[in-house]
Amino acid sequence: MTGSERGVAFADFLTQSLSQVRPLPPTDIDLIQSTGSVLAADAAAPAPLPPFDYAAIDGYAANIDDVLGASADHTIGIKVLGDLSAASWRPVRLVPGTCFSVAAGAPLPIGANVVIPQAWTDEGMATVEVRRTPKKGHGVTYAGSQRAQGEALAHAGRRVTPQLIALLAASGIADVTVRPTPRVVVIATGDELVDTGRPSQPGQIIDVDSHLVTAGASEAGAHAYRVGICDDEPEALRNVLDDQVVRADFVILTGGTSTGPGDMVRRTLSRDKTVSFPGLAIYQCENIGFGTIGPEEIPILCLPGDPVSASLGFEILGRPAILRLAGAEPVFRPSVRANLTEAVSSPGGKREFRPVKVTERRGGGYTVAPLGPQSYTLSGLAEATGLMAVGENSTEVPAGSTVDVMLLDRHR
């Protein structure tokens, strides 16, 4: 089989397509609004974190030299000068033989280098008897112990999570530089399509694709908008695209990508020379198109109308494009090497991404089980937790083989 008969290699198409996708321009945004966005620049600590020494526990702030040798049989008494809380702000200083009663979070008195837990004392108020010698630094959190001034809190390319927001807020950062969340518009095409909420009749097919792809785009971190169904009419398609491209960073169409007389998307966009449909050497996803539209050259992905094929096409190209727009790294889902439990056959000359069930072994490693006849059905897709990659030159993969698997869902 020649290269032209097989189709364009997936790796070449993927590289060429993603080269047309550029990360969105950076913008400064309020910290609390940045959740889910990707940092476009490193975030550095403007001051030491924490900014001052403080008590990590409730107890007595003292100098270790004043309580050396304290034990249950040999208690050491020191004078309590006062109480400090987390709201205390006036600097205070220890003198030899004294301490302060402190609450967790209270600034450490000058000269203190240990906080003695209350349980190690008689909990005295004017004078406290210490019954155990702590190590120097016990119960103390020192300034800069988490991050030094100027040290990176997070690097460009990291997605902003609630936990990262907490770290940035604690450092005194009120806004960050991020890539905007990509706006993805999803449009289904086909005269035969009807919306969900009613059973389909002969000549009608429920629009599954746009729901599936919109959900996938949202899961990838995009602001995803399902526009609805566009009729198989070139002018209608152009009008919808003209209307939506001004509010989109990425457009995804489903349906009409094959070579039949009714495949309007392929005929229209190929004629307009906005999208390339090279014919890919990928099983179930041969008819994917990719290009740019509009004066701003907005990326557009055209997926097959079959829901499983649309899902596979979105995973191998749509999702990476969204993450590229967002400035995230890496753009691909994590992959693992796994042992195949049953032999599978694959069509020669085409790369296959087969839906499979992945299991993590208790002792380490993974196994992968084929889904049999259900592999390329919506039922099988709903059960799949991975996509097993089978190379173009492999027609039989024996049981026990080690295969590459892209992980789809780590929660099942």
Q: Residue 278 phi/psi, 5° resolution?
A: -75, -15
Convert the pLDDT of each residue in 333-359 to its tens digit: 999 999 999 999 999 899 999 999 999
Query: Domains of the chain by range and CATH?
Result: 3-24+180-326 (3.40.980.10), 28-49+147-179 (3.90.105.10), 54-141 (2.170.190.11), 335-407 (2.40.340.10)
Q: Cβ distance 51 to 202 under 8 Å?
A: no
Convert the pLDDT of each residue in 156-171 to its tens digit: 999 999 999 999 999 9
pLDDT, one tens digit for every residue, the chain (412 residues): 334 456 899 999 999 999 999 999 999 999 999 998 999 999 999 999 999 999 999 999 999 999 999 999 999 999 999 999 999 999 999 999 999 999 999 999 999 999 999 999 999 999 999 999 999 999 999 999 999 999 999 999 999 999 999 999 999 999 999 999 999 999 999 999 999 887 778 878 999 999 999 999 999 999 999 999 999 999 999 999 999 999 999 999 999 999 887 789 999 998 878 899 999 999 989 999 999 999 999 999 999 999 999 999 999 999 999 999 999 989 999 999 999 999 999 998 999 999 999 999 988 999 999 999 999 999 999 999 999 999 999 999 999 999 999 999 765 5
* Distance separating alpha carbons of residues 37 and 222, to the nearest angstrom: 9
Q: How far is CA 242 from CA 145, 237, 253, in A?
A: 54, 9, 14
Residue 18 in tokens: 């993603």
Specify the 3-state DSSP secondary structure of 62. Answer: strand
Give CA 77 to chain center in angstroms. Answer: 55
Q: Which of 338, 322, 341 lies closest to 330, judged by CA?
A: 322
pLDDT number for residue 276 = 92
193-206 per-residue burial string, b: 16 or more CB within 10 A, e: under 16: bbeeeeeeeeeebb
Q: H or E segment at 28?
A: strand 27-30
319-326 vs 209-219: helix crossing angle, rounded to 10: 40
